[in-house]
Amino acid sequence: MGFELTILGSSSATPIYNRHPTSQLLVIRDHHFLIDCGEGTLTQLLNYRIKYHKITHIFISHLHGDHYLGLVGLISTFHLQGRTIDLHIYGQQELMDIIEIQLRISNMHLRYNLIFHSVRHYAPEVVFEDEEIMVRSVVLNHRVPCTGFIFKEKPRPRKLRIDKLQEHNIPFTYFNKLRKGEDFRTYNGDVIPNKELTEEPSPSRAYAYCSDTIFDIGVADEVRGVDLLYHEATFLHEQEDRAAATFHSTCIQAAEIAKKGEVSKLIIGHFSARYRDLQPLLLEAKSVFENTELALEGRKFKVD
């Protein structure tokens, strides 16, 4: 089953050096999640030939323009192109006020249902859940209320051993029970242990998105053990004072979160416009946490 992140934008504040404001697309199985929607997100979706009509849930971390100014345009495009399926948006309540003003002034009555979910910024909570996936918010420390998000698969069902099922003539109607871990009882009362008929499932996968935030080592506990972590790294560490003053993080600080949180891979992004060459930022992060990569536009990160 698929688990893939595509970087649509990695710049902070403004588009520059062919870098766009923050946006990412996360596909988990059949779920298409858009994470933040900075200016130019729709253009990026088109550039990478992404079937953006499959997006059903959009998560906005905070209300600085480089993280949401592309949202109303995307909502409008969905309408103009005849969308009929529901669209769920998650963010601070004020975001819905912005959307409603835009729609009212343009006299646009959407052809589809736009369902808004208010996310509290002061305490973590489960913001989305179905049978396969759970999304939980992470409280971040920025100049305005800001949340990150952790996308995690629920435990997968056990894997059936087809050869053993055939050997014991297990009826098809019992397969789902075996996937859930139940033993099989024959007509004469004998019990075949589940472990003889199934195998351990693949581990659940998780992605943590930590948007704009001042360095907070406590975040490491929130993201502990995830397969993939995105953490903003706006500045080189020589700009640590500047990072603190603007409530952002440095590359080394992002790497320290990844190291303490024992994550598998770190992606850094939200790069300051002062850096045309991003290699120094990458090298600095790798000096603390080796398995680090840059959030470059168009890059895809798969979790097996």
> Domains in the chain, please, with CATH?
3-156+202-302 (3.60.15.10), 159-199 (no CATH)
Could you identify the residue written with the tokens 């995690």?
A: 152
CA angle 248, 66, 116 (to 5 degrees): 105
The pLDDT tens digits for 118-166 are 999 999 999 999 989 999 999 999 999 999 999 999 987 777 778 767 7
Question: Is a pLDDT exceeding 90 seen at residue 177?
Answer: no
Catalytic one among 36, 66, 212, 227? 66
pLDDT computed for residue 192 by the predictor: 78
Active site residue 190: no
- Interacting residues of 223 by C-beta distance below 8 A, sequence separation 6+: 138, 150, 208, 210, 229, 257, 261, 263
pLDDT computed for residue 100 by the predictor: 96
Distance CA 57, CA 151 (A): 12
Question: Is a pLDDT exceeding 80 seen at residue 191?
Answer: no
Question: Is a pLDDT exceeding 70 seen at residue 1?
Answer: no
Give exposure, 79-99, as e/b (b: 16+ Cβ within 10 Å): beeebeeebbbbbbeebeebb
Q: Which residues pair with 267 in a beta bridge?
A: 230, 293
pLDDT computed for residue 197 by the predictor: 66
Question: Is a pLDDT exceeding 80 seen at residue 278?
Answer: yes
The pLDDT tens digits for 217-257 are 999 999 999 999 999 999 999 999 999 999 999 999 999 99
Confidence of residue 171 (pLDDT cuts 50, 70, 90): confident
Q: Taking the model in full, what pTM does it have? A: 0.88
pLDDT computed for residue 162 by the predictor: 82
Q: For residue 174, how far is the Cα from the chain centroid?
A: 35
- Interacting residues of 166 by C-beta distance below 8 A, sequence separation 6+: none
Question: In Å, what is the CA distance from 46 to each residue of 42, 254, 291, 298?
Answer: 6, 30, 30, 11
pLDDT computed for residue 158 by the predictor: 73
pLDDT computed for residue 179 by the predictor: 78
The pLDDT tens digits for 28-73 are 988 999 999 999 999 999 999 999 999 999 999 999 999 999 999 9
What is the rounded average pLDDT of the residues 158-176? Answer: 73
Mean of the per-residue pLDDT values for the chain?
Answer: 92
pLDDT computed for residue 200 by the predictor: 72
Listing DSSP states for the chain in one string gives --EEEEEEE-BSSS-BTTB-BSEEEEEETTEEEEEEE-TTHHHHHHHTT--GGG--EEE--BSSGGGTTTHHHHHHHHHHTT--S-EEEEE-HHHHHHHHHHHHHTT---SS-EEEEE--SSS--EEEE-SSEEEEEEEE--SS-EEEEEEEEPPPPPEE-HHHHHHTT--GGGHHHHHTT--EE-TTS-EE-HHHHEEPPPPP-EEEEE-S----TTHHHHTTT-SEEEEE--B-GGGHHHHHHTT--BHHHHHHHHHHTT-SEEEEE-B-TT-S--HHHHHHHHTT-SSEEE--TT-EEE--
What is the rounded average pLDDT of the residues 268-283? Answer: 96
pLDDT computed for residue 284 by the predictor: 97
Question: Is a pLDDT exceeding 70 seen at residue 178?
Answer: no
Mutual angle of helices 93-105 and 71-80, in 10-degree steps: 50
Provide, rounded to the nearest whole percent, the portion of the chain with pLDDT above 90. 80
pLDDT computed for residue 137 by the predictor: 97
Neighbours of 264 (CB within 10 A): 14
pLDDT computed for residue 275 by the predictor: 95
Tokens representing 257? 């979160």
Query: What letter represents residue 22's amino acid?
Result: T
